[in-house]
Each structure stands twice: as C-alpha cells, then as structure tokens.
Structure 1
Amino acid sequence: MLSWLNERLWADWIWFPEGFGWADLKDPDVVLPHLPDLWAFVPIAVCFLLVRPLFERWLASPLASLLGVRDKKRVRPTLNPLLEAHFCSTSKHPAQSSLEKLSKQTDYSVRQVQRWFKQRRNQERPSKIKKFQEASWRFTFYLFAFFAGLATLIDKPWFYDMKRMWDNFPKMPLLPCQYWYYMIELGFYVSLLVSVASDVKRKDFKEQVVHHIATIVLIGFSWLVNYIRGGTLIMLAHDASDYLMESAKMFNYAGWKKTCNFIFVVFAAVFIITRLVIFPFCIIHATLVYPLTLYRPFFGFYFFNGLLLVLLALHVFWTVLIMRMVIKFLPGNDIVEDERSDKEETESEDEDGERTRTLKNGHIHNGHTPLNNNPQKTD
C-alpha cells in the first residue's frame, strides 16, 4: 500500500511537464540536484542556532553599547499573588469591571491595580538591547546573503533575461555556488522558524511564521524539481531589502533619528521595487505566464506559483505597514517607529488606555487601530 501511494504521489505527470520526469534528473554526465543533498541544511541550521547567541553576546552587545543603545529602568511591581494569578491565567489587560473587582479583593485602589498591571506587562516586554541584538543578527545574515546571491547570479544570462531560467529544463546543471547559496538560505530560514518562539513577538507574528514556512517549502520544492534558477532569483529579490530594514531598526534603537529615517526611506523604496514590481512582474511572470507558451499546466506548476502568490500577498500586507510608517513620520515626527514592535507603556499611556477602554465599553470608539504587538491591547 505504501509503495503504491508513493508511486502515485511522485508520478511524473504531477510534478513535471508532459514528456519529462524524475528520470531526467538522473543523468550521470550532469551534476543535478538530488534529495539526499538537501539534508546538508540540517547542520547549517544547527550552526546558525549555536552561533547566534555567541554573536549577540560578543559582537551585538558591544556594538549596542558603542552606538548608545540604553534600556530604561523598569519599576518592578510589588509582590501580589492574587494579581499575579490573574495576570498569568486570565488577562494581562483586565477590563474595567475586572479592575474594580480586583481592587476590592486586594484593598488597592483601581488606579493602583491598573499601575500594577502596567508595571507587570513592562517586565515581560523585550529590552531594547535584545531587539538590537536580533536586528544585528538578521542584518549581518541578510547583508551577506544579498551579496552572495548577487555574486552567484551576476554573470548568469537568466539574471538579465528571466525567461532563460527554462533553458534546457529540467536538465540544467547544478553549480557549486548555487548549491551553497541554497543550503545557507534554507538553513537560515529553518533556524528562524525554530527560534521564532523565543524571538521578539511582533504584530505580524503569524504572518512571519507563514512566510518562513512558505519560504522553506518553496526552497525545498524548487530544489527537488530543479527550479533552482528561479529559486535563486526569488531569494535575491527578497534579500535585497531585508538588510536595510534591520539596519534601520538598529539605528532606531540607538536613537540615531535622522540616520534611521533616511535608511527607512531607502528601504521602503527598495522593498516596493523588488517585492511589488520585480517579484510579480518579472519573476512571477517568468514562472507563471511564460511557461504556458512552452508546456501544458500541471500540478507542480500550480503548486510552485501558488507559494509565490502567498509570498506576494504577504508583501502587500507588509507594504501597507511600511507606508503607514512612512506617512507617520513625513509631517515631521522625530523617528520612524516599527508598527510591529511591542512598546513599553508609560504612566500617561496607561491612563489614556484606561479612558479608551471605558469609552469602548460605553460603545464609543475612537476609530484608531492599535499599532503595538498585542492585538488585544487597545491602549
């Protein structure tokens, strides 16, 4: 039964155009991608997971100190088992009715209970130094990956004419530079997926997880069916703007306002050009439209392009956030704030948040969308 299912699952007509199949990837005279070679990403991912804490401690931390990244001193809430139990098991943002009930149970005023929850939430928020360390790690990789990808593709004809990615398909020889580019990218995204639970959680946490999974599946599938030329172009288009975003975050945390704003504007321009112009109108056109002039559609064709369209939808989502940030600082705000970030609350913010919750409970809404990391938080 398993043999029959395996034979049906990997049938040539599912994954290849008519007239081609897995036998075309077994030519002894040509170096072609094979499934066992793909497992090289495992030790690479492990290396990333092991090197990252060392990098953050010995390189990112001194750099943060050099750039002047400082954490505000956070006030610890007084020990209160009843409030702690409510915070951990019920809600970190209690409603007005819950605040009043807790006030009676603890002999605290409503304002004191509110302040306690604010201080307790701040204790769980990641420090600015931790966020700087994460941004530094990603900046370093994305910068390296972008120039490695550029070196891999700069002399290839399909870099300039993307239709050439189908020349001699599927017997396109695998080059050593393509192999290592693939394995390093795959290993890095697997390491991100493993560490996502411990990383700083942002407003687009779910979208990030979907992005990582789609990217891993896309890289793996394109390897198996030798869509490697297209895969390298896709990875390069994504790496082109990521390191700019991470560097803008680094200067944001350091308080270098003008530098942050300048880099962010450059990032926004590169992101839109690569993700919303080159990616859909050049790369996806070469993988979705042009192949129809060469082959009849098949399941692998739909599967591959379906993953690309998932990434494109995520790009549109992130473009909306980016444009909101750009518009936010254009009138003269001091600094670009990452709308996905989890910000520390202040006394005034807590008071304003309480008034907002009270108005909402009275069926009056101010119409603003919360921009912090917790979708349940309205202050």
Structure 2
Amino acid sequence: MAALSAWFWNERFWLPHNVTWADLADPAPGVEYPKAGHLFAALPLALGIFAVRILFERFIASPCARSLHIHPGVGRRAQPNAVLEKVFSSITKNPDSRHLDGLSKQLDWEVRKVQRWFRHRRNQDKPSTHTKFRESMWRFTFYLCIFTYGFRFLWQSPWMWDTRHCWYGYPYQDFLIMFIHHLATVGLISFSYVNNMTRVGTLVMCVHDASDFLLEAAKLANYAKYQRLCDFLFIVFSVAFFITRLVIFPIWVLNSTMFESWSIVGPYPSWWLFNFLLLVLQVLHIIWFYLIARIAVKAMLRGKVCNDVRSDIESSSEEEPDTPTDGLKASPHAPKGENGTNGHCAAAKARVQNHSSW
C-alpha cells in the first residue's frame, strides 16, 4: 500500500517543478497549506448539511408549499394484483403490445385496463409535486447562499479582478479562508484541493453557482403553478447559463488555467489533467446549453416551459393519458394542470451536480 500510495501521489505529476510535498507539509509559521487528510472533514460536514436539509424541508419548505396550496396528497394507486406486480417488478415497468396482449388474455382484462394499471403503478413510485417543491426550495436556498458567500469573498480577492494572481507564488498560497468553501464540494475538486489550486477553484465554483439558484426558482414557480413566472425565470436562467458557462468560463477561467498558468508557473503533468477536465466540462456546457435553448425557444413559442430534456430523473407525478401519445405535443391552449402543460423546469445536478466540481 505504501508503494501504491507513493506511486499515486508522485509529486512530479501533481506539483510544479522544484516543489515537493515536504515543502507544503512544513510551511512557515502562521501559514497553512492544504493536506489530503483535510478532505476527511467533508464526511461529517456532509452529514451536517443533510441534517440541515431535513429540518429545512420539514419546518420551512413544507409550510411554504402548503401556503401555496401544494399538499402532499396521495395519488391514485394501482389495485393489488399479484400477476401484474410480478411482471412490473421482475420483467418490465412499461410493457409493449405483446406483453399487454398476453396479460389481457391471462387476466381477462381489456388491454386498456392493463395499460392503466401499469400507468398507476409507475406513478406510485414518482415523487409528488409537494416532495419536488421541497427539494427545489432546499436547492434554491443552498445554491443562492453558497453563491452569495462565494461572490462576497471573491469580491475582496485580487484574483477575481486579475486572474494572474491565481498563479503568483503557486503553490505557496495560504488557503485558510477557502477551507470551508472547498469542503462544500467533493469529487474532482479533491485533487485540485490537494495540490492547492484553491484560487482558480473558487472562480470555477462561482461561475457555476451563478445560474443554479435561478433554475430552482423556476421549478418552484412551476410547482406552485405560476406558469408565467416559471417561464420568465427559466428564460433568465438560460441567459445566465449562456453568459457564465459559454462566455465567462472559457474567456475568463479557461484562459487563465491554460495560458496564464503556463506563462507564470509552467506546465507539469497534472496541469494537463486538470485542463483536460475543464475542457470536458466546457463541452458539457455546450451540450447542456443546446438542450436548454430548445426548451427556452419552445417556451417563447408556446407560452410555457416544457420538460427539461436533460433530466432523466425529474418526471411528472401527474396522470399520463389513457392512450399512447408518443410524438404528440401538448396543446398550448390546454388548461393548467393537464399532463404536459404544466412543464418542468428540471435539470439533471448530477448535478451532473456536475457542474459544481471540476
């Protein structure tokens, strides 16, 4: 294990030339540098944030939802049927015509009745609008707070106004102010934390946080059935996403990580890794914005926001139509509340929550 650890943390890969881990482990008095062991603090922090989320959803988000007449409620449940339940659990949740015909004959039910059973059974597993509202209100509050905190800190930092300061003196840069801020994220940012790319990391996180809370605000408006407000917020989110991810990120951040760091610090092996990951992230930005733009255009043409086609986890808990509607579009004049007209301003964070790490 020692040999494996030594190979993985090879300082000639992770650090610039003429810098060693020993240099970072023995700083001058009053100076503190990041250490890999600090990342373990993220575990209790994550549990603490999870506890705060539970309390927030129960005592703040739920009353807000009820005040907007969004009640938990219990959707229509499928009638108990052992045969269909077995098919649903072990074979398919959305049977094709062959399965439907077979089940119809076996149970002596009409095909439409079998379809309806599977539809009701699928809806049982979907979160209610009340649940989704609470989750979105938590994410809105968290994203807004973390963005406000990050922006407030960066406003006083010289590297926000001149990104070359991200690389002056690297990696011998004090990190104490950034410690809590960086513990808020895990994943790819762990490596950037260990080799002390904290300054440029704050810029990356701030750029990504700038639009997240707008998306959650749009979803809250959608769940509360304020469709015009939802559409407006989604358009604002789309514009903010474009400006931050497709303009500021490549021109401001990528320019610094690829060119300014090259001239000030010089390239080294992990430099290529981090810039590759940032370029991959930029490619994802382009793909996501294409999908977002499609929704925004449909919102302007139809007068309402449709499902976010990036999301494969956010889905309507409302009733599906009794007959297949593949390829059909919802009428722009249908009343609010009908399936397909109450559109989702949803996003996948998985967070592609994706976008908070680099």
In structure 1, distance between residues paired with 2:216 and 2:23: 42
Q: Say if 2:210 is the partner of 1:237.
A: no
TM-score, normalized by length of structure 1? 0.80
Higher helix share: 1
Residue 213 of structure 1 is matched in structure 2 by none
Residues 1:258 and 1:283: Cα distance change in structure 2 (over 3 Å): same
1:246 to 211, 216, 219: 216
Contact 2:208–2:245, Cα closer than 8 Å, also in 1: yes
Contact 1:100–1:110, Cα closer than 8 Å, also in 2: yes
Q: C-alpha displacement at 1:73, in angstroms? A: 5.8
Residue 211 of structure 1 is matched in structure 2 by none
Q: Say if 2:244 is the partner of 1:274.
A: yes
TM-score, normalized by length of structure 2? 0.85
Contact 2:147–2:210, Cα closer than 8 Å, also in 1: yes
Q: C-alpha displacement at 1:13, in angstroms? A: 1.3
Residue 181 of structure 1 is matched in structure 2 by 181
In structure 2, distance between residues paired with 1:309 and 1:110: 50
Contact 2:57–2:135, Cα closer than 8 Å, also in 1: yes
Q: Which amino acid aligns with 1:5?
A: L
In structure 1, distance between residues paired with 2:98 and 2:306: 36
Q: C-alpha displacement at 1:10, in angstroms? A: 2.3
In structure 2, distance between residues paired with 1:94 and 1:156: 58
In structure 1, distance between residues paired with 2:60 and 2:105: 50
Residues 1:167 and 1:295: Cα distance change in structure 2 (over 3 Å): closer
Q: Which amino acid aligns with 2:239?
A: A
Q: Give the SS at the match of 1:217.
A: coil
- Residues 1-379 of structure 1: pairs in structure 2 closer than 5 A: 2-25=1-24, 26-29=26-29, 30-70=31-71, 74-176=75-177, 178-183=178-183, 185-186=184-185, 216-339=186-309, 340=311, 341-344=314-317, 346=319, 349-353=321-325
Q: Which amino acid aligns with 1:275?
A: R
Residue 192 of structure 1 is matched in structure 2 by none
Aligned residue pair count: 326
Contact 1:125–1:342, Cα closer than 8 Å, also in 2: yes
Residue 362 of structure 1 is matched in structure 2 by none
Residues 1:303 and 1:92: Cα distance change in structure 2 (over 3 Å): same
Contact 1:258–1:335, Cα closer than 8 Å, also in 2: no
Q: Which amino acid aligns with 1:22?
A: W
Q: Give the SS at the match of 1:39.
A: helix
What are the superposed Cα offsets for residues 68-90 of structure 1, whole Å, 9 maximum, x if unpaired? 32567632222111111111111
Contact 1:260–1:336, Cα closer than 8 Å, also in 2: no
Residue ranges of structure 1 left out of the alignment (5+ in a row): 187-215, 357-370, 374-379
What are the superposed Cα offsets for residues 291-342 of structure 1, whole Å, 9 maximum, x if unpaired? 2223443221022222222322332232122112101111132345434231
Q: C-alpha displacement at 1:98, in angstroms? A: 0.6
Residue ranges of structure 2 left out of the alignment (5+ in a row): 329-342, 347-358
Residues 1:173 and 1:350: Cα distance change in structure 2 (over 3 Å): same
Q: Which amino acid aligns with 1:252?
A: N
The 10-residue stretch of structure 1 (240-249 or 36-45) with the greater mean CA deviation from structure 2? 36-45
Q: Give the SS at the match of 1:330.
A: helix
Contact 2:298–2:305, Cα closer than 8 Å, also in 1: no
In structure 1, distance between residues paired with 2:207 and 2:134: 25
Residues 1:285 and 1:336: Cα distance change in structure 2 (over 3 Å): same
Contact 2:214–2:233, Cα closer than 8 Å, also in 1: yes
Q: C-alpha displacement at 1:355, in angstroms? A: 9.6
Root mean square deviation, CA, Å: 2.2
Percent of aligned pairs with the same residue?
39
Contact 2:35–2:194, Cα closer than 8 Å, also in 1: yes
Residue 360 of structure 1 is matched in structure 2 by none
In structure 2, distance between residues paired with 1:28 and 1:334: 59
Residues 1:103 and 1:167: Cα distance change in structure 2 (over 3 Å): same
Structure with bigger RCO (C-alpha 8 Å, 6+ apart): 1
In structure 2, distance between residues paired with 1:236 and 1:223: 16
